[in-house]
Chain A
Amino acid sequence: NAGVTQTPKFQVLKTGQSMTLQCAQDMNHEYMSWYRQDPGMGLRLIHYSVGAGITDQGEVPNGYNVSRSTTEDFPLRLLSAAPSQTSVYFCASTPDVYTEAFFGQGTRLTVV
Chain B
Amino acid sequence: AQSVAQPEDQVNVAEGNPLTVKCTYSVSGNPYLFWYVQYPNRGLQFLLKYITGDNLVKGSYGFEAEFNKSQTSFHLKKPSALVSDSALYFCAVRDPNSGYALNFGKGTSLLVTP
Report whether B98 and A42 are in contact in the complex, using a CB–CB cutoff of 8 Å: no
Please classify how large the interface on chain A is, using the bins under 10, 10 to 19, 20 to 34, 35 or more: 20 to 34
Whether B11 sits at the interface, judged by CB under 8 Å, is no
Interface SS of chain A: strand
Please encode chain A, from 25 to 56, with 1 for each CB lying within 8 Å of some chain B CB and 0 for all others.
00000011101000011111100111000001
Binding site for A on B (CB under 8 A): 9, 32, 34, 36, 42-44, 46, 49, 51, 90, 92, 94, 96, 98-107
Report the 10 A-B pairs with minimum CB-CB distance, sorted nearest first.
Answer: A48-B99, A42-B104, A33-B101, A42-B106, A50-B99, A43-B104, A105-B43, A103-B44, A100-B46, A48-B101
Q: A33-B98, A48-B99, A102-B46 are in contact. List 12 more A-B contacts (CB 8 A).
A: A31-B99, A32-B99, A45-B102, A49-B99, A50-B99, A97-B96, A97-B100, A98-B32, A98-B51, A100-B49, A101-B46, A106-B43
Q: Can you list 25 A-B pairs, Cβ within 8 angstroms, ordered by A?
A: A31-B101, A33-B98, A33-B99, A40-B106, A40-B107, A42-B90, A42-B105, A43-B44, A43-B90, A43-B102, A43-B104, A45-B98, A45-B102, A48-B98, A49-B99, A56-B99, A90-B43, A94-B100, A97-B32, A101-B101, A101-B102, A102-B46, A103-B36, A103-B43, A106-B43
